[in-house]
Structure 1
Amino acid sequence: MGMLEREMKNLARQAGGAHKTVHDRIATAGRFCERLMELNIQIRYVRHLKARHIEAYIQMRLAQGIQKQTLHNETAAIRKILTQAGREKLAQSTGER
């Protein structure tokens, strides 16, 4: 488990909510980090994430043919993690796209 994945999973846990919500957020964080590794994006900390990294993840998931609601849920989880990390501006810009 990389440093980014560990940090994102801890932030997902700290964001709180119901057990299933937290579990789903942690799973989304893991998937997000795996996809970044597949795209050879080498980031170690949440503070280094940029909008283009999230956009690349979204495009990759759309190419896989997942349903829109699933994608909405995943982006909401990523936004919550970013907000928990103090990246409100990035979380807001991700929600507008």
Structure 2
Amino acid sequence: MDRYEVLKDIGSGNFGVAKLVREKWSGELYAVKCIERGPNLDEHVQREIMNHRSLKHPNIIRFKEVLFTPTHLAIVMEYAAGGELFQRICNAGRFSEDEVCVYIYR
């Protein structure tokens, strides 16, 4: 994680914490999921990483790299500045058909 500067927390959940980071040499922004390691979690997350790495589509967030520390696993991925679609749905309650089309065709 020495290559990244942590800017702020951007989310949390059962998995751990998501942080917004800046790569020091390029200035690029990335999201990092920090997950506490454990024997069962490592196997589950490893499977998820392998599946996600195989996905190639412009509308799917891409993995950059996976970093390991003695206590945590850090998944570095593209940063989508617009926020989570799930949170937008919860806040809005309902979307019109036109609004749904905007999200689907992005």
Give the alignment's TM-score, normalised by structure 2.
Answer: 0.30
Give the alignment's TM-score, normalised by structure 1.
Answer: 0.32
**Bigger radius of gyration among the two:** 2
**Structure with more relative contact order (C-alpha pairs < 8 Å, separation 6 or more):** 1
Structure with the higher fraction of residues in strand conformation: 2
